[in-house]
Structure 1
Amino acid sequence: MTEVDLADWRARRRRRFAPDKWGVLVCRAVWDESADTRTFLLTPKDGSRIEHDPGQFMTFRIDTSDGWIERCYTITSSAARDGGIEISVKRQVGLGSGALHKTLIAGAEIEAFGPSGRFGPANLPGANYALIAAGSGITPMLSILRTAADRGIDLDAILVQVVPTSADLIAEAEITNLSRRMPRLTHLPILTRSPGNGRPDSDLLARAIPDLVDRTVLCCGPQPFMEMVRSAALKVGVPAERYGEECFDFSSPISDSTAGADTQIRTVTFARSGQTFDCAETSTILEAVKAAGLPLPSSCARGICGTCKTFKHTGEVTMAHDGGIRQREIDRGFILPCVSRPLTDITLDC
């Protein structure tokens, strides 16, 4: 590398990867964590740095056999390292993970958006933690632990990792090493297919973490598992402000919209294409977009990922998001159509 190249690299390296725009990441390395989980090391193509909090995720645009889709994956790498990120993806039924496992090889490029999300210690601070994960729900916990170790934080945490068998324990050796660096970290693996074991319940959780009520609880995993953990935490008295969860279920939620005879119907206009469609005040704008057969990128449909973020030229909406949009973006006029319902006629920058 010449001095000119080095100076150019340093200049580009100082820039921040824009969290509110799609950018290109390059896959630098790939390795298997288990039989069905693969980790990808990704760095910005322009040499910028990625700033994120432990527990955040990014949204990826994936080319599949059925066309382009957007999917969200948690960053598993340490937030103390901003040169790139790692994501660990479990191959499941569906297009996204399968396409990544097949096509995202060293040297391949992929579009990404973010980081996004409010899960983790940055938004749920505490003196000590219960990190409770099932399956691929371990991914945000790994980022939390790796960040604490890199920043020299003696984290007081109990990590409960629920998997079918020992072969499914992701990063087991690394967690053991992290425990040496953080003596107050306790790792409790629960193998559901071992003799005498089964799916964990609230009683097992209470026995495993007897001081649960005194901890900030962070949970990630399948929806039924998180519902069980949430119920157990509330039962022992963990206050809502010390409980957080990250959802891996990005299937379309069941609509709760009910349009009656008196429901006001609003008109939504796409400014660029000139297309218009009706949207009931009880429906989200994204539901109406899909019903009209119009294109609009989206992923979680829950106000989490920020993929559908769109500028609103005119009109008023009511919006209840879950971290997928920043207040400064709202102040500038952006909305998340997936969780926005029209109060007047609306014009969007589409």
Structure 2
Amino acid sequence: MSAADPQAWGTRRRRRFAPETWAPLICKGVWDETADVRTFLLATADGSRIEHDPGQFMTFRIDTPDGAVERCYTIASSAARDGGIEITVKRQDGAASGHLHDTLTPGASITAFGPSGRFGPVAWPGLKYALITAGSGVTPMLSMLRTAADRGIDVDAVLLQVSPTDADMIAAEEIALLKRRLPQLVHIPIPTRGAGAARPNAELLTSLIPDMAERTVLCCGPQPFMEMVRSTARDAGVPSESYGEESFDFSSPETEITPAADARLRSVTFARSGKVFDCAETTTILAAVKAAGLPLPSSCARGMCGTCKTFKHSGEVTMAHEGGIRQREIDRGFILPCVSRPLTDIVLDC
């Protein structure tokens, strides 16, 4: 729409973007956050509103020269705004992020699925928060803080942001403005190189956040960083139900077992869509889903992030997770398909 079109400025009731189907989003704007981090403003092609909770993500199908790949990117924008979403993407090795930086320009489209995920204050409620991030892991925290500011939530939060240099701090100027709207927000930038550099470790974290045990700790960043934060939080006395993390680190996915010729096949049924496919007992359900060409949001593929958490209506699985699902969720019937292998025929709520 042009600026001269009254509908571009007015408000009207719009239908909701369906989170369970793939659909195109149109790029409406692009701007650089740092030298290698770029934000993309995306809106639905039909004007429908995108409803999401702060901390959720969307899965994007990216058509690269080497073929289509799927990647998850956190929605960085405020959940109080539904006219479009923002994703903030760091250019990294591999085809996906570089292809976005090079080709996703205003007017271009990209296919998306979601919003999905249970990371953030809705799933991890608390009176006080410690938001501990590294690199582009700050994006879900930005959504939380932007949402709090837009909705007038006086959140008590410490944002600890680790980046290589001050110039690599994503949204540093905006965070300074958010502090004016969120008087209890404490921002602690930690550069790891240059003047004022520090090494993020347990000693530093506990000295900077001495009341960590009293806070709900949410962490997002590279895998080794999250392992350090998780251990630090545990040693500081943070209960497991007050610690959450999210990562879209694709550097070391779980090694998949190649099905033996005599491996027994089990059927997996998606109850809502009616799709049925086979999964060998030696193969994860997520791998079988991908092989069947069906959508199921996922990220770490190691049973840590909880992205692919799905309700199991019937059947038995063997599951070896790394903290991405709580025991009470398992007791209710949820599984992580990325680390679950079928022992019987399975019916999932998909």
TM-score by length of 2: 0.81
Q: For each residue in 1:8-64, what CA deviation from the matched residue of structure 2 results, as whole angstroms up to 9, or x when unmatched?
A: x977x5211111111111000000000000000000111111110100100001010
1:162 and 1:83 map into 2 onto residues whose CA distance is 30
1:150 and 1:256 map into 2 onto residues whose CA distance is 44
Q: Is the 8 A contact 2:223 2:249 kept in 1?
A: yes
1:340 and 1:37 map into 2 onto residues whose CA distance is 35
Distance 1:284 1:199, change over 3 A: same
Please give the root-mean-square deviation of Cα atoms over the aligned residues, in Å. 3.7
Q: Is the 8 A contact 1:315 1:343 kept in 2?
A: no
Give runs of aligned pairs for residues 1-350 of structure 1, distance below 5 A. Answer: 13-195=13-195, 197-251=197-251, 253-255=253-255, 265-268=264-267, 279-280=280-281, 282-287=282-287, 295=293, 299-300=298-299, 301=301, 304-306=306-308, 316-318=315-317, 338-345=338-345
- Report the CA distance between 1:214 and its aligned residue: 0.7
Secondary structure of 2:119's counterpart equals coil
Which amino acid is 1:58 matched to? M
Distance 1:133 1:264, change over 3 A: same
Which amino acid is 1:185 matched to? L
Q: Is the 8 A contact 2:277 2:292 kept in 1?
A: no
2:18 and 2:286 map into 1 onto residues whose CA distance is 25
2:135 and 2:76 map into 1 onto residues whose CA distance is 14
Q: Is the 8 A contact 2:279 2:285 kept in 1?
A: no
Distance 1:90 1:255, change over 3 A: same
1:173 and 1:276 map into 2 onto residues whose CA distance is 50
Q: Is the 8 A contact 2:316 2:343 kept in 1?
A: yes
Secondary structure of 1:33's counterpart equals strand
Aligned residues: 328
Q: For each residue in 1:92-136, what CA deviation from the matched residue of structure 2 results, as whole angstroms up to 9, or x when unmatched?
A: 001110110011000001110011111110111111111110000
Q: Is the 8 A contact 2:130 2:218 kept in 1?
A: yes
Distance 1:131 1:335, change over 3 A: closer
Secondary structure of 1:139's counterpart equals helix
- Report the CA distance between 1:285 and its aligned residue: 3.0
- Report the CA distance between 1:283 and its aligned residue: 3.1
1:142 and 1:249 map into 2 onto residues whose CA distance is 19
1:163 and 1:63 map into 2 onto residues whose CA distance is 30
2:46 and 2:276 map into 1 onto residues whose CA distance is 35
Q: Is the 8 A contact 2:202 2:232 kept in 1?
A: yes
1:153 and 1:335 map into 2 onto residues whose CA distance is 33
Distance 1:347 1:157, change over 3 A: closer
Secondary structure of 2:34's counterpart equals coil
1:188 and 1:97 map into 2 onto residues whose CA distance is 28
- Report the CA distance between 1:316 and its aligned residue: 3.0
Q: For each residue in 1:186-217, what CA deviation from the matched residue of structure 2 results, as whole angstroms up to 9, or x when unmatched?
A: 11000100346343100000111111111110
Q: Is the 8 A contact 2:130 2:216 kept in 1?
A: yes
Gaps of 5+ in 2: none
Task: Select the structure of larger CA radius of gyration.
Answer: 1
Secondary structure of 1:62's counterpart equals strand
Which amino acid is 2:228 matched to? M
Distance 1:347 1:163, change over 3 A: closer
Q: Is the 8 A contact 2:289 2:295 kept in 1?
A: no
2:142 and 2:177 map into 1 onto residues whose CA distance is 13
2:154 and 2:295 map into 1 onto residues whose CA distance is 41
2:186 and 2:95 map into 1 onto residues whose CA distance is 36
Q: Is the 8 A contact 1:70 1:297 kept in 2?
A: no
- Report the CA distance between 1:264 and its aligned residue: 7.1
Distance 1:63 1:196, change over 3 A: same
Q: Is the 8 A contact 2:76 2:88 kept in 1?
A: yes
Distance 1:268 1:166, change over 3 A: same
Gaps of 5+ in 1: none
Q: Is the 8 A contact 2:118 2:307 kept in 1?
A: no
